[in-house]
Amino acid sequence: MLSARSLFQEIIDNDDSYQLFCSIAASGEAQGGWENARIAALVPPELQELAPRITRHGADEDKHGRIFNALLKKRGLEPVPVPPEADYTMLLEGRGIGLAHEKLGRDEPLSEEDIVVYLSHSRVTEQRAAEQMDMLLTFFEDHPEVGKAVKMISNDETNHLAYCHEELLRLAAAGHGRTIHRVLRQSALAEIAIYRDVSLAVMAHMGRLLGWPRSKSAVLAAGIHGMYAYERLGGWRRMVSLAMPERRGALDGPATTAPAI
């Protein structure tokens, strides 16, 4: 029977598909680490209290990238290039979601609105990340090879999502509510389409590596399109709601160290 658990187990069990999976994950986390580090360095004076938390966010993302690379090394594998059609972060930037790398590469302070845009975009993408890691935690919490990594990354992504909720609520109370609402909606609608396209691309690559029959690939593609239809009809709204999280101050303090893999 085809299930999410069996699908991920198949990917993990095969060196070629595992190599691509970890390479895509490591690349995305490294990009996120760089982006957050640059944003932290360019925070405007009026929002300087956010800089340590943004720095912590970036340190967590860098740590996740190192974890995925360590998982590859443990199996004697090297990272492989990420297919452009599977590069979630760069495809989001190409759609104008978040802060452009060109802006982050300049040594000019960001505006207060830039920080609002960054946090709104992060609230959407961290929702996706938290959900994905929660699913992997359900399947592989006790897995001898990836269990420790999945636990740590899942906990971090929950912290990141909590931080976005808390800071956006504070900024909304300070008068940025309309901008936050607009950017959240734009980001969510763009993200669900990009997530669909990236999922289709990744599954196509996995299918070739694993030799899936055409019928299996067709069923998986139909499932991805079905998820997009659900999200387009209203599922995207879970990505734009704001509520005070149970974890307050989730990114206060230094980043935790990576587990021994």
* Domains contained in the chain, CATH given: 4-239 (1.20.1260.10)
pLDDT in tens, 229-242: 999 999 999 999 99
- The whole-number pLDDT of residue 183 equals 97
Residue 165, number of CB atoms within 10 A of its CB: 22
- Closest by Cα among 154, 92, 82 to 118: 92
In degrees and rounded to multiples of 5, residue 108 shows phi and psi of -125, 135
- The whole-number pLDDT of residue 254 equals 80
User: Is 77 a residue whose pLDDT tops 70?
Assistant: yes
Helix (H) or strand (E) run with residue 80 in it: none
| Residue 2 identity | L
Give the integer Cα–Cα distance in Å for 220 and 168.
36
CB 155 within 8 A of CB 175: no
- Closest by Cα among 217, 206, 191, 224 to 80: 206
Map tokens 């979601």 to a residue: 97
User: Is 261 a residue whose pLDDT tops 80?
Assistant: no
- The whole-number pLDDT of residue 1 equals 58
Dihedral sign computed on CA atoms, order 162, 98, 19, 9 = positive
DSSP assignments along 93-152, one per residue:
HHTT-S--HHHHTS-SPPPHHHHHHHHHHHHHHHHHHHHHHHHHHHHHTT-TTTHHHHHH
pLDDT in tens, 144-184: 999 999 999 999 999 999 999 999 999 999 999 999 999 99
- The whole-number pLDDT of residue 260 equals 66
- Residue 70 Cα distances to 11, 66, 157, 257, angstroms: 17, 6, 19, 13
- The whole-number pLDDT of residue 117 equals 96
Query: What's the predicted TM-score (pTM) here?
Result: 0.95
- Closest by Cα among 168, 176, 173 to 240: 168
What six digits make up the tokens of 19?
Answer: 């190599």
Percent pLDDT > 70 in the chain is 98
